[in-house]
Amino acid sequence: MVFDEHNPPHFHVRYNEYRASMNIKDLNIISGFLPARVRGIVTEWAELHRDGLLEMWETKAFHAIAPLV
């Protein structure tokens, strides 16, 4: 997550050669592309951690969030 970025609140995803930015609020891809399987996994993770992601965006205080296991 890069804090000096533009709205809407979003986070960046990297998976092999794929890159995407996902809106935190609705979990839609803003830019880039992810394969369907990866997008599903990332969406599941983000749903679990949406509050923490939004808090980091708003406060600019980064902290680690557990990975999806």
Residue 52 lies in a domain: yes
Residue 42 lies in a domain: yes
Backbone phi, psi, residue 25, to 5°: -75, -45
Report how far residue 65's alpha carbon sits from residue 34's, in angstroms, rounded to the nearest whole number. Answer: 21
Number of domains in the chain: 1
Question: Residue 45 belongs to what domain range?
Answer: 10-59
Residue 50: left (phi > 0), alpha (psi -120 to 50), or beta?
A: alpha
Tens place of pLDDT per residue across the chain (69 aa):
555 568 899 999 999 999 999 999 999 999 999 999 999 999 999 999 999 999 999 999 988 988 876
Residue 4 lies in a domain: no
Give this prediction's pTM: 0.84
Residue 41 lies in a domain: yes
Residue 65 lies in a domain: no
Please list, residue by residue across 28-63, b when 16 or more beta carbons sit within 10 angstroms of its beta carbon and e when fewer do.
Answer: ebeeeebeeeebeebbebbeebeeebeebbeeeeee
